[in-house]
Amino acid sequence: MEDKEIIAIKALDYVTDNSMIGLGTGSTANFFIKHLANKIKNERLNIQVVASSTVSEIEAQRNKLNLIGIDTLETLDLYVDGADEITNDLNVLKGRGYDLVKEKILAQSAKKFIIIADHSKRVNRIGENYPIPIEVLKSTWRLSKKILDKFGQGSLRKNAAGDAYAISSAGNYIFDYSFDEMPLRDLHEKILSSPGVIETGIFYAITDCALIVDNGHIEILSK
Ligand code: 5RP
């Protein structure tokens, strides 16, 4: 079994009956969705789920989970998602899957937010391996770019086929930006205070726990 599946199964330890669970996006999150569905079936649990993206919505439907719309959600017990980068102090970079604002709102609303990741995602500094994804209003993206260009360099993300710009399921464009080094909190706040910016892929100080796997060996980082 590959590491991503091992760590997705480990996250089932945090699943309780009669709860509302948020489903993350990506290959690790997909393993969690599959094994959550098996657990619910085998143990006859009463669990509702909410999706963070079109991809996780499709996975939830394929696995016949009891899916509710994010627009009706008022409380969330648990949110489990993957990551692109994670530091030892539990700051996280996400967003290869476009849906930054939905992923972030579920992460921050959940009573418990757990990251599941393999060892390759560990970094000393957010932005070490990937640019920072930034979800922006589509209609004013050129103006937002001019503002962001004052302290960074980046461009609009293309879709997987490379024939159009990527659009989040909330209908926004995504930039990928590199910035000069500055404290993460300052960077996050500076990006967020730029007009037209909806959300960034920096998940600053909101992760409760990270389950990390390295060749089958599991490490748990907690707040
Ligand atoms: C989506 C994400 C993913 O969680 C992240 O890209 C990790 O993906 P994977 O589990 O496929 O490595 O942030 O927006």
Q: Could you read off the pLDDT of 145-192 as tens digits, one per residue? A: 999 999 999 999 999 899 999 999 889 999 999 998 899 999 999 999
Specify whether 39 is located in the same domain as 83.
yes
Q: Tell me the CATH number at 158.
A: 3.30.70.260
* Catalytic machinery residues: 103
Which residue, among 176, 132, 168, has the nearest Cα to 25 in the 3D structure?
168
Task: Report whether 185 contacts 204 (CB < 8 A).
Answer: yes
Which residues, 6+ apart, have CB-to-CB distance to 142 below 8 Å? none
Specify whether 114 is located in the same domain as 51.
yes
What's the confidence (pLDDT) of residue 223?
A: 83
Specify whether 64 is located in the same domain as 171.
no
Q: What is the bridge-based pairing of β-strands 209-214 and 217-222?
A: antiparallel
Question: Which atom of ligand 1 approaches the CA of 103 most closely?
Answer: 14
pTM, to two decimals? 0.94
Whole domain around residue 42: which residue ranges?
3-124+204-222
Task: Report whether 200 contacts 191 (CB < 8 A).
Answer: yes
Which residues surround ligand 1 with Cβ inside 6 Å?
24-29, 81-84, 94-97, 103
First-to-last alpha carbon distance for the chain, in angstroms, is: 29
